Amino acid sequence: MPAPHVHLESIDAAELAEMLTFIDQWLTGPDHAQLTASLARFVGADGYNLTQLRTDLARFTFLLGHDDGEQLFGTHHSPQP
């Protein structure tokens, strides 16, 4: 079954990407141990952790065009001329 097409206004995509970035930054804060335990309780099973959640957030941010992939791929990609 093909995925439905979703169209966002650029301002809406930018706001969504900013929120995802905000959440990602919060997840890297000083309460890492508490966040790790909280996510484990919420998920209820092993196999999904903060690293994977942050990777998902980075992927969505990249797909929204908010970042050049540095967060997702770990390197800075210069724009092509």
- Each residue's pLDDT tens digit, 6-22: 788 999 999 999 999 99
- Each residue's pLDDT tens digit, 65-75: 877 666 666 65
Rounded distance between C-alpha atoms, residue 8 and residue 23, angstroms: 20
pLDDT above 90 (res 30): yes
AA identity, residue 64: L
Question: Backbone phi, then psi, for 43, in 5-degree steps?
Answer: -70, -40
Buried b (16+ CB within 10 A) or exposed e, 7-30: eeeeeeeeeebeebbeebeebeee
Q: What is the pLDDT of residue 47?
A: 86
Query: What residues does each domain of the chain span?
Result: 10-69
Q: Can you tell me whether residue 7 is helix, strand or coil? A: coil
pLDDT-based confidence at residue 79 (cuts at 50, 70, 90): very low
pLDDT-based confidence at residue 81 (cuts at 50, 70, 90): very low
The answer to whether 52 touches 4, Cβ cutoff 8 Å, is: no
